């Protein structure tokens, strides 16, 4: 089992809809999680980090963490064509505490 897993997509949503991106992880003791956005040909940029169970909101983005289910998600409200990118989930695993493990990414396409 890979340490951080994501559906590769592509995920397509119409403009204005809610995009839901999901991520699961294998190490129950993992502490910190991150969502990055990566446009084609560019480097990843941090959207948000989340450390505690529950929801964390930042503008149109909401990250959700459920440590019991080992599940992290990112919701994008009012999706825009400019949100079309690959979204990388990453976690700091207890088993490799000094490294961040990245998932393979989910490709999101927002259709105008």
Q: By CB under 8 A, tell whether 91 contacts other proteins.
A: no
Q: By CB under 8 A, tell whether 49 contacts other proteins.
A: yes
Q: By CB under 8 A, tell whether 88 contacts other proteins.
A: yes
Q: By CB under 8 A, tell whether 34 contacts other proteins.
A: yes
Q: Smallest distance, Å, CB 45 to other proteins? A: 7
What is the spatial distance between Cα 99 and Cα 93, in angstroms, rounded to a whole number? 7
User: What's the count of helices (H) and strands (E) in the chain, helices before strands?
Assistant: 0, 11
What is the spatial distance between Cα 21 and Cα 34, in angstroms, rounded to a whole number? 13
Number of residues this chain uses to bind other proteins (CB under 8 A): 21
What is the spatial distance between Cα 3 and Cα 93, in angstroms, rounded to a whole number? 8
Residues that bind other proteins (CB under 8 A): 31-32, 34, 36, 42-46, 49, 88, 90, 92, 97-100, 102-105
């Amino acid at each position: 089992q890979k340490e951080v897993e994501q559906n590769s997509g592509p995920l397509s949503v119409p403009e204005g809809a809610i995009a839901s991106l999901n991520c699961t992880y294998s190490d129950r003791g993992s502490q910190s999680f991150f969502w990055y956005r990566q446009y084609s040909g560019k480097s990843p940029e941090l959207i948000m980090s989340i450390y505690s169970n529950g929801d964390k909101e930042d503008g149109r983005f909401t990250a959700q963490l459920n440590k019991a289910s080992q599940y992290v998600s990112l919701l994008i409200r009012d999706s825009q064509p400019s949100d079309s990118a690959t979204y990388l989930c990453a976690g700091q695993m207890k088993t490799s505490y000094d490294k961040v493990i990245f998932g393979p990414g989910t490709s999101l396409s927002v259709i105008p």
